[in-house]
Structure 1
Amino acid sequence: MATPARRPSAQQQQPLTVDFEALSYISRLVEAFQAFDSDNDGLVTAPELRGLLASLGLDKSEAEARDMLARADADRDGRLCVEEFLDVMNAGELGLGALGALLQAAVPALESFAGPDGALGPDELARVLGLMGTASAEDCAEIIACMDGDGDGAVSVEEFKLMADLL
């Protein structure tokens, strides 16, 4: 007699197949982009791009930065949005689309589990992704660690939304 299929408990979760190093890299790129977006309009100019690249250890001349921007500027507005910047940095080739889809599916529930400051720690993320049957507590702690730029052990729902959209 066959036994009915059960949804895996949190202890039985299979680890996500995620390259956490790649997730951390993309998160650092997004943080650097935001730091160099001096007017917070979600776009960087060629001089901002040059500074951003320098902060990542890529010393480019002003002409090289303008050329990079021109090649990557899909909408031809003379500035790069974060998506265009990630394309320049080949972040799309890192294969994190499945994690992006998972986070997008989880965002509505994440909002209800966030603390009063809108932040989520590994326990809250594990509760949400555990309900979805998709991630272990260890995976969730690693996801938070990869995305936690300020080291406070939490990531805001807005940051999750942004990363989900970008992945």
Structure 2
Amino acid sequence: MARLADRYERVFRCFDEDGDGKLSPLELRRQVGLIGGELLLEEVEVAVESLDSDGDGLLCLEDFVGLMEGGGEEEKMGDLREAFGMYVTDGCEFITPKSLKRMLSRLGQSKTVDECEAMICHVDLDGDGVISFDEFKVMMM
């Protein structure tokens, strides 16, 4: 099992669309949206501003790790389990392309299974084609 810091770095690299080693509020918002999360740009901008260690308006890897490891662990875990549970179906303990498609459809977003597979690929840290709770947690925290 990869160290948590390695996982954060892998997620960071996936989020860093332009490969500049920094995350803009727009990149962060767009990537969270790809996995079905929804954040207002203003919310992301406030989060980035509060964690931005060098004042450039962007998150470096260390800032991102700070975002992922923020406080209130027990409450966060409960919220994450609840959110994760919305995406899993049929007693499966993973988010599959079909379950993601189904949930996005409920949220008014029409995606094909192929599109959902591509979305999962962005966050699938172990390459098994599904999102485990640990992968979901890394992406959402």
Provide TM-score, normalisation by structure 2. Answer: 0.44
Structure with the higher fraction of residues in strand conformation:
1
Provide TM-score, normalisation by structure 1. Answer: 0.38
